[in-house]
A and B are shown apart, each in its own frame.
Chain A
């Protein structure tokens, strides 16, 4: 193939690919437009809010999720990105969130006239990164997308000028983020070096071929690479033990930024986790047949590391040990001779994620109870929900080969959870932001007896909190149900007892979560009003009030549209594995 052919081929590929990333392109154009508009006197008066809103809406419409949700898998940009139903679904979630979020920021008045162009540029820029995270198919894109999503967030955390806590939060976030990114990059380079490729399906193929021949040291390096990449992802997910930034950042930054980080950032991180897990654990369909030769030494895989310590699944303290001691690998197993060469890798990923999910969820719920600041409480609640949302991934990995339909269900369950979680958490942060504007406080104690002052808001917040608990008939239940069902399904299909343990931990956590969510409801509706509260008014018949109603409605009513939502999510997951 000569140069001309390559160039021609590339040109065709790029042109074709371009149509599949239109939403991202539109977002980028919007950012540029907002910055350019400020230069000219004539256009300076245009409120960047409208530009951002239109941009996000246009991106959402151009992505046309209603049309493309069931699209076949397609690798674009020479395999750097992947375009399938899941990409479309995640992009739709992120952009829908963006549209609601931009309206919300306008109503809560956080971006003032002067810097709103910057702020919206940062939000939109971060969103582009998140969309790329959801469609990453190459280690380079994985890293670039994570950074593209993170760097604007660092600046956003320090959005409130002249506030020490905000600056502290931004600095903490940036330093911690940089550290995590460095560690992750190291892991990515180890993986790429070991497999001679950075293209995820190729990595899977290479692993399939080479894993049987790997000795202990290579397997160890592989395990280390997996753990290091895990660090980077766990940071984005705010999974324990890489969650320390979350409460500080959420408390220091404004509630708006909190909403952005807790919904969009989490959704993107989970999408990326799914991509990486599937990418490394399955390979793409074209490679699937090539990898069928039975091999013997599969069991010499880091997956064994965790099977030999089943206790680690339930004991939070063991997490660091397990992560720090990958050397205890390579216990040869005899029954593994007929397994798929990658099953060891899958097992490793499944157990690692299961462990992290269990610890994250429990830790978040336990710590949230003692919080006095509502934003901090929501931060821990976010951590706990990240834990729930990681739970279907072990089920996905475990069922991959045995029951592909069940594996798809698991991803669909995750999508469902994200969809309902979007409304609940955005709603919760919106309440906090509007109440902050109305009464200048974010302390839980100041929420006491709010039902007398603004019953409508309390009812909305109550519905959202009950939704976050997962109480039927509110929509949070659908998500929890989907996740628990996939775990039970996984257990019955594979007999892996860690899925059962994870299920029980998830169930117990639902109860743990009850304590603090219910406490907030109790404080708002039953406790007496503090005597020193200044009178304030926050009627529901106002723009913020209407927004609140609109954002609560899905939590209340999505149960009725369960079927449609379920089908949507299943369409999104249809071509993920085949």
Chain B
């Protein structure tokens, strides 16, 4: 397995090399740029495929997989920063997903991007480099560098190639995300420094596995966990985005070019949930347990709010954007149920959402390319005109609303199972009622999700054929999906079906890593449980006594 590290390094380096190459060959025009970009993403995809396929099938020793660890700053200088990458069960599929969605992104931009194409593909490849790096980083500093690095290309992708309101959207996106991530960084810094101080190290270590292990041995004091959790929450919750911090997302999605939306929904939002799973939960378990009911509440609020707002949208892309808010709510719900089933579901849901929503955005982009509008009311019966496109749209929709047999079902059922287990079987008496209400409300999201998506399908693809009048100057006769477009979406659909039919192949690979993460919260949960039970018991006892005295 040792040679896998080279494959991993090559996977991450390829897009960067491609971006530099594209930048240097900038004057060669659109055609060269897009073919080169395609070649780079295909190579990256193949390399990433090899890395993912070779991941140990039982997930054992996952944290040793494909690890490269080179000292960047030496410990003598006080900062022990490593260039350390590797994949474990949490990151491996998100890593693969990133490579896959980039391939889709290049293909959907093929015709759509006319203006300054070389720069566009440079940005796209730079973004791919950042995304791949984030999920592979094993050092906090490296993670943060990749994390922030993803902002710059997307800022330009939205701001230069977006729709009318793109500048405002780009700035809002950047400021929201960056503002949160500064706090996140200060929080991570506090963890690092506390660890060094506590262990009497004369250097700061940034290694994620080392910090995780050490913080589980000797947890931070609760006050510190509390504040650091809030600091991390600021960055990750904005990124997810968790209700009520989601306001930047619909705007960014609607204004971004199709490729930008695909990547934003498919990959970048996952960095938020990934951050919670990688840092907040294992490193700050006590605070996680403390905040658990609140985050569950916010997740459910997001699920329902996103769904209701999606129902009212007039623009297809906005509708899909709000559905993201709702779906990511599920992911958070599952993770913060803090049991193994829910956590598995939440993680699976991250991948599912990337596949289905990424695909949906790609298809919405294809519709927009054909008709230059995304207004739901101006469409009808597109299935007559565009049967293949409608087929893919329908499959992705069904996957997104969780039809059994497709990937969405596997994720959602696990999330809900986890949540119900937390609410009905594992919760202290005081939380019982609110959590049960939340879990029931969460189910309503499934219904709402089916409603808004199927309502969309019914209006746009079925009923009578109605097409927008084509007053656009360069209009061409509307044709169905061509091979390029099919190639962009087909892999996503294949994976949707595969995960739907054989979710176990993913579960086995992820489980050991995920179990380790949830194990961290077991002790604080148990503490909390007994504490709450005692309080309730003593409260009950007191009332009993009162009653008795009253009787006397």
Contact A466 B144 (CB under 8 A): no
Which one, A514, A522, A559, contacts B159 given CB within 8 A? A522
Nearest CB of A to B148, in Å:
5
A244 within 8 A of B: no
Q: What residues on A are CB-neighbors of B182 within 8 Å?
A: 507-508, 510-511
Kindly state whether residue B39 has any CB partner on chain A within 8 Å: no
Closest residue of chain B to A504, judged by CB?
Answer: B186
Question: What's the Cα separation between A49 and B173 when bound, in Å?
Answer: 47
Residues of B within 8 A of A510 (CB): 182
CB of B175 within 8 A of chain A? yes
A466-B152, A472-B148, A562-B72 as given contacts; A485 in contact with B204, CB under 8 Å: yes
> Which residues in chain B, 488-517, are within 8 Å of chain A measured between CB atoms?
none
Given contacts A471-B151, A484-B186, A507-B186, contact A526 B179 (CB under 8 A): no
Query: Is there contact, CB below 8 Å, between A567 and B190?
Result: no
Could you tell me if B156 and A405 are in contact, using CB atoms closer than 8 angstroms? no
User: Is B79 interfacial (CB 8 A cutoff)?
Assistant: yes
CA distance A488 to B194 in the complex (A): 9
Shortest Cβ distance from residue A160 to the other chain B in the assembled complex, whole angstroms: 35
Closest chain B residue to A473, Cβ basis: B145
Query: Of the candidates A466, A511, A515, A526, which one forms a contact with B167 in the assembled complex, judged by CB atoms under 8 Å apart?
Result: A526
A493 surroundings in chain B (CB, below 8 A) = 197
Q: Which of B186-217 contact A (CB under 8 A)?
A: 186, 189-190, 193-194, 197, 202, 204
**Complex interface bits, A323-363 against B, C-beta within 8 A gives 1, otherwise 0:** 00000000000000000000000000000000000000000
Does residue B529 face the partner (Cβ distance < 8 Å to A)? no
Inter-subunit contact B144/A472 (CB<8 Å): yes
A518 within 8 A of B: yes
B77 at the binding interface (Cβ < 8 Å): yes
Contacts of A471 in B (CB 8 A): 148, 151-152, 178
CB neighbours of A485 from chain B (8 A) = 79, 189, 193, 204
Distance between Cα atoms of A503 and B183 in the complex (Å): 10
Tell me whether A251 is interfacial, beta carbon within 8 Å: no
Check: B431 CB closer than 8 A to any chain A CB. Answer: no
Q: A489 an interface residue at 8 Å Cβ cutoff?
A: yes
Question: Are B156 and A488 interface neighbours, CB within 8 A?
Answer: no
Chain A residues with CB under 8 Å of B186's CB are 484, 488, 503-504, 507
CB-CB under 8 A from A472, the residues of chain B are 144-145, 148-149
Q: Which residue of A lies closest to B133 (CB)?
A: A473
**B residues less than 8 Å from A508 (CB atoms):** 182
Task: Evaluate contact between B178 and A522: CB separation under 8 angstroms.
Answer: no
Count of interface residues, chain A, beta-carbon cutoff 8 Å: 35
- Asked if A555 is at the interface (CB within 8 A of a chain B CB), the reply is no
Report yes or no: A566 in contact with B73, Cβ–Cβ below 8 A: yes
Task: Tell me whether A126 is interfacial, beta carbon within 8 Å.
Answer: no
CA distance A503 to B186 in the complex (A): 9
Q: B-facing mask of A296-309, CB < 8 A → 1, else 0? A: 00000000000000
CB distance from A502 to the nearest CB of B (A): 12
Chain B residues with Cβ under 8 A from A504's Cβ?
186
B166 within 8 Å of A (CB atoms): yes
Report if A409 contacts B (CB, 8 A): yes
Residue of A nearest to B161 (CB): A526
Q: How far is the CB of B524 from chain A (nearest CB, A)?
A: 23
Q: How far is the CB of B9 from chain A (nearest CB, A)?
A: 16
The yes or no answer to A492 lying at the interface (CB within 8 A) is: yes
* Interface flag for A525 (CB, 8 Å): yes
Chain B 132-169 near chain A by CB (<8 Å), digits 1 or 0: 00000000000011001101100110011000001100
Q: In the bound complex, what is the Cα–Cα distance between A567 and B178 (angstroms)?
A: 29
User: Within the complex, which residue of A455, A466, A526 is in contact with B170, where a contact is CB–CB below 8 Å?
Assistant: A526
CB distance from A92 to the nearest CB of B (A): 19
Minimum CB–CB distance for A413 against chain B, Å: 10
Q: B206 CB to closest chain A CB, in angstroms?
A: 11
Cross-chain contact A518 with B175 (CB below 8 angstroms)? yes
Asked if B78 is at the interface of the complex by the 8 Å CB criterion, the answer is yes
Q: Is the CB of A514 within 8 A of B174?
A: yes
B149 x A526 contact (CB < 8 A): no
Per a CB cutoff under 8 Å, which of A484, A514, A519, A562 touches B179?
A514
Residues facing A in B76-92 (CB within 8 A) are 76-79, 81
Residues of chain A with a CB closer than 8 A to B185's CB: 507
Are B73 and A562 in contact, with the CB atoms below 8 A? Answer: yes
Q: Which residues of A contact B193 (CB under 8 A)?
A: 485, 488-489, 492
B74 at interface (Cβ–Cβ under 8 A)? Answer: yes
Q: Which chain B positions have C-beta within 8 A of A489?
A: 193
Bound together, the chains give a CA A222 to CA B151 distance in angstroms of: 50
Nearest residue in A to B151 (C-beta to C-beta)?
Answer: A471
Most chain A CB inside 10 Å of its own CB: which residue of B72, B74, B148: B148
- A563 touches which one: B77, B151, B179 (CB < 8 A)? B77
Q: B174 contacts which chain A residues (CB < 8 A)?
A: 514, 518
- Chain B residues whose CB sits within 8 angstroms of the CB of A507 once the complex forms: 182-183, 185-186
Q: Is A115 engaged at the interface, CB distance under 8 Å to the other chain?
A: no
A13 at the interface (CB under 8 A from B): no
User: Are B159 and A511 touching (Cβ within 8 A)?
Assistant: no
Q: Mark A506-532, 1 if CB is under 8 A from B, else 0.
A: 011011001100110010011100000
| Residue B171 at the chain A interface, CB threshold 8 Å | yes
Closest B-chain residue to A562, C-beta based?
A: B73
Task: Judge if A570 is at the interface, Cβ distance under 8 Å.
Answer: yes
Closest to A452 in B: B116
CA distance A405 to B186 in the complex (A): 21
Question: With A526-B160, A526-B170 in contact, do A492 and B79 touch (Cβ < 8 Å)?
Answer: no
Select which of B151, B156, B194 is within 8 A of A525 by beta carbon.
B156
Minimum Cβ distance to chain B for residue A493 (Å):
8
Q: Known interface pairs A563-B72, A563-B74, A566-B77. Does A473 touch B149 (Cβ–Cβ under 8 Å)? A: yes
- Contact A527 to B167, CB < 8 A, known contacts A471-B151, A518-B174, A563-B73: yes
On chain A, the residues within 8 Å of B152 by CB distance are 466, 471
Which of B160, B179, B190, B202 contacts A511 (CB under 8 A)?
B179
> Measured between C-beta atoms, what is the minimum distance from A437 to chain B in Å?
25
* A residues less than 8 Å from B156 (CB atoms): 525
Name the residue of chain A whose CB is nearest to the CB of B158: A526
Known: A485-B193, A514-B178. A409 touches B145 (CB 8 A): no
A492-B167 in contact (CB<8A): no
A483-503 near B? 1/0 per residue, CB < 8 Å: 011001100110000000001
Taking CB as reference atom, which chain A residue is nearest B156?
Answer: A525
Q: Are B171 and A518 in contact (CB under 8 A)?
A: yes
- The reply to whether A511 and B178 form a contact with Cβ atoms under 8 Å apart is yes
Query: In the complex, how many angstroms separate the beta carbon of B152 from the nearest chain A beta carbon?
Result: 6
Q: Of residues A405, A504, A566, which shows the largest number of chain B Cβ atoms within 10 Å of its Cβ? A: A566
Task: For A566, list chain B residues within 8 Å (CB).
Answer: 73, 77-79
Given contacts A488-B189, A522-B167, contact A567 B202 (CB under 8 A): no
Q: Which residues of B contact A526 (CB under 8 A)?
A: 159-160, 166-167, 170
- Chain B residues contacting A488 (CB-CB under 8 Å) are 186, 189-190, 193
Q: A405-B202, A472-B148, A492-B197 are in contact. Are A514 and B175 (CB under 8 A)?
A: yes
Residue from the set B81, B175, B186 with the largest chain A CB neighbour count within 10 Å: B186
Residues of chain A with a CB closer than 8 A to B190's CB: 488
Closest B residue to A466 by beta carbon equals: B152
* B152, B183, B194, B202, most chain A CB atoms within 10 A: B152
Which 6 A-B pairs have CB atoms at the shortest separation, nearest pair first?
Answer: A472-B145, A511-B179, A526-B159, A563-B73, A566-B77, A488-B193
**Which residues of B pack against A, CB within 8 Å?**
72-74, 76-79, 81, 119, 144-145, 148-149, 151-152, 155-156, 159-160, 166-167, 170-171, 174-175, 178-179, 182-183, 185-186, 189-190, 193-194, 197, 202, 204
Q: 18 A-B pairs, CB-CB below 8 angstroms?
A: A469-B178, A471-B151, A472-B145, A473-B149, A485-B189, A488-B193, A492-B194, A507-B185, A507-B186, A508-B182, A514-B174, A514-B175, A522-B171, A562-B81, A563-B77, A566-B77, A566-B79, A567-B76
Given contacts A473-B148, A510-B182, A519-B171, 19 further A-B contacts (CB under 8 A): A405-B202, A471-B152, A472-B145, A472-B148, A473-B149, A484-B186, A485-B204, A488-B190, A488-B193, A493-B197, A511-B178, A514-B178, A522-B167, A525-B156, A525-B159, A526-B167, A527-B167, A562-B72, A563-B73
